[in-house]
Structure 1
């Protein structure tokens, strides 16, 4: 798509700007639609908002996979998931009333975190198993899709008929529908769909430019995908999560992060389906799973934080958020040093 480095860098910059601008408007529209459709913030977050904010990752990862660049594809999606979890730590720092994991804890958000841990282990199992494929797909890819759908069923059940309730405190922020102006529902959906289209196109342009940047600069695809494109394609999650926190939609903020990462596992499945030379798991460097392992670790720590529900931490940042930020930065430095 791009013949030289300069157009690729310019396209990378403008695509990144487009993703950020679109993301700034998604949270407010999503919060309104969550209330007016009756889905609630948790289900709308994992079903709709997560799908939209994952579109840059979907477009970028699938583009790299179809182009037979397995390392670039998998490092992008795995690096994006780690970046998203780091953003939850940033959102905790922004929310000053209490630790975010304390205020937003619910049966739905805990179920989402547990589902994410299950899904993250599956690609690593695929790499460790003997080479096998069915119609060009690894059998575990089908398990990923089935597990995701069954997980949605469990989350919906946990929301409608919870068997576990967080202890109510003054800092607990429940998902309560707000009053919205009558009419304009069709307009809200049109805005939501329009923003989704913008983010998808920007994600595709981003990866096309990233390929040229990797080739022209000599940087490894692991570094370009796991750091640069991963951070940029994850920017909608950061923008929408911060916006949701500031609007008081805490369940939407947390569900957006966990839901996006769960949806990103469908992106992994799509990359396996789109890779033209068999299963993608057997053509990528095992080191690409470093971000996946780190994401399991970070998700587990955040899950522990929601169960413990520390009200305030040092500087009003929860222990789990501080640990997540430190782990991400250390991993980032390690990946950059290794090149």
Structure 2
């Protein structure tokens, strides 16, 4: 590992400060994105993916880039993959908070189903790279180079699907439709659209700035405790970098913007897949897969399974309770953490 790492207590303090900033900014992010979704006509699913997904992923971007730049391949790869896993678990928590019905039932959205399938495809690419670590173009693996291409094409498909859906979910008394609150432009008693964009940009700067604290804090914890990089990246730092998604998801559920909340998680997860590209691009010794331990393959496989389970839940739409997906997803995550601990002993 290159670069200077912090000692244990400054590292813990940095993680705590980042946590506080993220919690304070989360609610404002959700309400701002919800209003912009209505003002611009992009819809809650797309706004969740692009606006919330992009902004809430900024801490993870900085953490991943810092880990890769300082030469910790396991930490750099575990952060984006672990972020996807933790953020998927957040949906199970939201299911517990939304008492009226199963949240995947209430937030019926074809765009969110497609986003989940695109994410499964994106997660398959690092698995391919792990199987062929020495295959490179320059210093990067060709599978890594395909990640931003597939991500952008997935966004194109989501927009195309919103404009011309080929089927619609069955509407029930528990379904919450994505109906704009301000369909006629600017609200008479609310901030202007321009001011909303400026607020979103300011929140992005604040939330994104926590990434440096989280990255340095996480690397400091690894150095001080001797814990495996993959374990810290998959659990500690990703739990903190993923908190913006949890806070904004809970805020979205409370204001009734369920599709926005789920779109935030799925969009943030797809955006996190771009961090795998970033990790490989900023890892200076060569392709990051040559130096990452096989634990990364475990993380990628388990996270893909969690995403597929969520997609099945969105399709099945169990009406009451948390549904099979709300139970299975946390269990898969906990089993993965347990296996990581066993490997570390």
TM range (shorter): over 0.9
Asked if residue 90 in structure 1 is aligned to residue 93 in structure 2, the reply is yes
Q: Which residue of 1 aligns with 2:15?
A: 12
Given the alignment, which residue of 316, 319, 326 partners 2:324? 319
Q: Distance in 2 between matches of 1:105 and 1:70?
A: 38
**1:182 positional shift:** 5.1
Give the superposed CA RMSD.
1.4
State the 4+ residue runs in structure 1 displaced beyond 6 angstroms.
none
**1:145 positional shift:** 1.0
Tell which deviates more after alignment, 180-189 or 105-114: 180-189
- TM-score (normalised: structure 2): 0.94
Asked if residue 162 in structure 1 is aligned to residue 170 in structure 2, the reply is no
Q: Distance in 2 between matches of 1:154 and 1:12?
A: 37
**1:335 positional shift:** 2.3
Q: Which residue of 2 aligns with 1:187?
A: 195
**1:130 positional shift:** 5.3
**1:196 positional shift:** 0.8
Given the alignment, which residue of 252, 257, 263 partners 1:255? 263
The 1:287/1:305 distance shift into structure 2, 3 A limit, reads: same
Given the alignment, which residue of 310, 318, 325 partners 1:302? 310
Q: Which residue of 2 aligns with 1:171?
A: 174
The alignment covers a number of residue pairs equal to 336
The 1:252/1:226 distance shift into structure 2, 3 A limit, reads: same
Q: Which residue of 2 aligns with 1:332?
A: 337
- Tell me if the contact between 2:5 and 2:219 (Cα under 8 Å) persists in the aligned partners: no
- TM-score (normalised: structure 1): 0.95
**Cα offsets for 1:176-228 (capped at 9, x unmatched):** 10034354222211221111111111111111121111111111111211110
The 1:323/1:188 distance shift into structure 2, 3 A limit, reads: same
Structure 1 residue ranges without an equivalent (≥5): none
**1:334 positional shift:** 2.9
Q: Which residue of 2 aligns with 1:80?
A: 83
**Cα offsets for 1:231-271 (capped at 9, x unmatched):** 11100011111110111101101111111110111111011
**1:51 positional shift:** 0.5
**1:279 positional shift:** 1.1
- Tell me if the contact between 1:19 and 1:203 (Cα under 8 Å) persists in the aligned partners: no
Q: Write the mapping of 1:1-339 to structure 2, written as runs, cut at 5 A.
A: 3-129=6-132, 131-179=134-182, 180=187, 181=189, 183-312=191-320, 316-339=321-344
Matched position secondary structure for 1:136: coil
Tell which deviates more after alignment, 13-22 or 35-44: 13-22
**1:3 positional shift:** 4.3
Q: Distance in 2 between matches of 1:159 and 1:226?
A: 33
The 1:4/1:304 distance shift into structure 2, 3 A limit, reads: closer
Structure 2 residue ranges without an equivalent (≥5): none
